Amino acid sequence: MKTNSHIKSFVKRSGRITNIQKYFLNNREANNSFYTPRSLIDISKLFNNDNPCILDVGFGDGKLLINIAKKYPEFNFIGLEVYDSGIGNILKQISNNEIENIKILKIDAIVFLEKFIRNSSLYGISLFFPDPWPKKKHYKRRLINENFLNLISDKVQKGGFVKIATDWPSYNESIVELFERNKRFHKTSDIVIYNERILTKFEKRGILLGHKIFDLTFKVN
């Protein structure tokens, strides 16, 4: 799969940004939690420790990622987001809570994984409520597909995990089928750090709409 040819799973939009989000966004270069990769990342040097690293793809408003990182300082977290409001918001939260085990990047997940992450260097990957692209004609835009699974199976170490949550039945069915076909993963019980996790904004919205929440966890064989 070529980096410049994949169908993006997101559409760039200019959403509303608060003044405080804008402040942290505009000053992100001075914030050592914001990182722009130039070459393959040495995670132990990036965090100055040898703790296991978890990649969170599309952290939204960042509240769940902040909560998990605060509870589990023995893990490192890399958060990816493409929307400025979310980046500004999480940089504010990192600053307010003096969190040192998160690095934030503004980058497409496929590009990041292909160009900047070494094989077997991640302990896990989390994807909470990725865009479901609910219309059938848009299914091809869903991030989680066969190519994505082949890519992450190289990047996550043996025994590591992939954690996914969605409230769309068709996406859940597709994800389960994809992982069942891919012999490099097996379904497992939830990872301890996500037990009693807080609800995300999208999760709360789905629950209010009466949607069932599908929590999926897979490990690399």
Q: Is the pLDDT of residue 51 over 80?
A: yes
CA 220 to mean position of chain CA atoms: 17
pLDDT reported for residue 18: 76
pLDDT of residue 2: 46
Alpha helices in 72-196 (DSSP H): 84-97, 109-116, 146-155, 169-181
Question: Could you give the CA distance from residue 161 to residue 57 in angstroms, rounded to a whole number?
Answer: 14
Among the listed residues 56, 84, 131, 167, the single catalytic one is 131
Work out the pLDDT band at 28, boundaries 50, 70, 90: low
Q: What percent of the chain has pLDDT over 70?
A: 89
Given a cut of 60, is residue 178 above it in pLDDT?
yes
3 pLDDT higher than 70:
no
Domain ranges of the chain: 49-220
- The CATH number given to 49-220 is 3.40.50.150
- In the predicted structure, residue 12 carries a pLDDT above the cut 70: no
Give yes or no: 50 in active site.
Answer: no
pLDDT of residue 127: 97
